[in-house]
Amino acid sequence: MMLQIPDVLSPDEVAHCRAAIDAAPWVDGNATSGFQAAMAKNNQQLPQDGPAAREVGAIIVQALQANPLFVSAALPHTILPPLFNRYGEGMGFGDHVDNSIRRNPATGAQIRTDLSATLFLSDPDDYDGGELVVEDTYGSHLVKLPAGSLILYPASSLHHVTPVTRGTRTASFFWIQSLVRDDAKRALMLDMDVSIQRLAGQVGQADPSVLSLTGTYHNLLRMWAEV
Ligand SMILES: O=C(O)CCC(=O)C(=O)O
Ligand SMILES: [Fe+2]
């Protein structure tokens, strides 16, 4: 399932985050890649242990944890500390699949990357090219979102970023281990949650059908979740 999460950050928050990361020192993006990605990657990144990456990463994680659509769709077990990249003119990132297992630098624990995310931090008007292209069984999906909005996609997907032909594309990217590793099961949980919320809005939280469907939601989650 691919899903847009709009307005994860407000325009003021985007401006604050951009000021902090734009002023920090950037390095060649290949510092953090696996072998296959390094072959394809041509961008810049912020060192992940630098103060700007840590400060802005914490703002992003806090915003995600307070975002009901993100929580319902991702069912996050662990959100890896956000990383930051930027592509100037001529830079892009060829086809690759992200590494399946990554180490959480905050805890040393290994995490399974179930979901990949890009949080756009440049306005689409500020650059040409730079689309994130994600392949699934339905074809290629071109993604370019307003600054502050996020795309969530299965980490198993083949994807690339088309070369930037004008301006600069700045983004945060990161991975999530979900409580529910299977994408199809996670999509069912989201559908069910959205429907229950809609029903509750119509008939009230105390309606017996809402109570029983909420129970079923949690019992399915109990059956499928790995904690
Ligand atoms: O810049 C992006 O939107 C995606 C970056 C990416 O695919 C990666 O770093 O693995
Ligand atoms: Fe990637």
Ligand number with the minimum distance to the CA of 93: 1
Atom nearest to 43 CA in ligand 1: 1
H or E element at residue 195: helix 183-203
Residue 83 and residue 104: Cα distance in Å, rounded?
12
Q: Can you give the residue ranges of every domain in the chain? A: 3-178, 183-224
Structural class in CATH, domain 183-224: few secondary structures
The owner of tokens 């339905």 is: 138
pLDDT digits (tens, 9 = 90+) for 95-124: 999 999 999 999 999 999 999 999 999 999
CA of 204 to the centre of ligand 1 (A): 42
CA of 160 to the centre of ligand 2 (A): 7
| Residue whose C-alpha is closest to residue 14's, from 140, 150, 133, 138 | 150
| Residue whose C-alpha is closest to residue 112's, from 75, 136, 77 | 77
Percent of the chain predicted with pLDDT > 70: 97
Cβ neighbours, 10 Å, residue 51: 11
Ligand number with the minimum distance to the CA of 161: 1
* Residue 98 known to bind ligand: yes
- Is any ligand 1 atom within 6 A of the Cβ of residue 161? yes
- Is any ligand 1 atom within 6 A of the Cβ of residue 171? yes
pLDDT digits (tens, 9 = 90+) for 124-150: 999 999 999 999 999 999 999 999 999
3-178 classified as CATH 3.90.79.10:
no
- Is any ligand 1 atom within 6 A of the Cβ of residue 85? yes
Model pLDDT, residue 32: 62
CATH fold match for the domains 3-178 and 183-224: no
pLDDT digits (tens, 9 = 90+) for 176-214: 999 999 999 999 999 999 999 999 999 999 999 999 999
Residues for the chain: how many in total?
227
Pocket test for ligand 1, best of 42, 93, 145, 174 (most atoms within 8 A of CB): 93
Pocket test for ligand 1, best of 30, 36, 118 (most atoms within 8 A of CB): 118
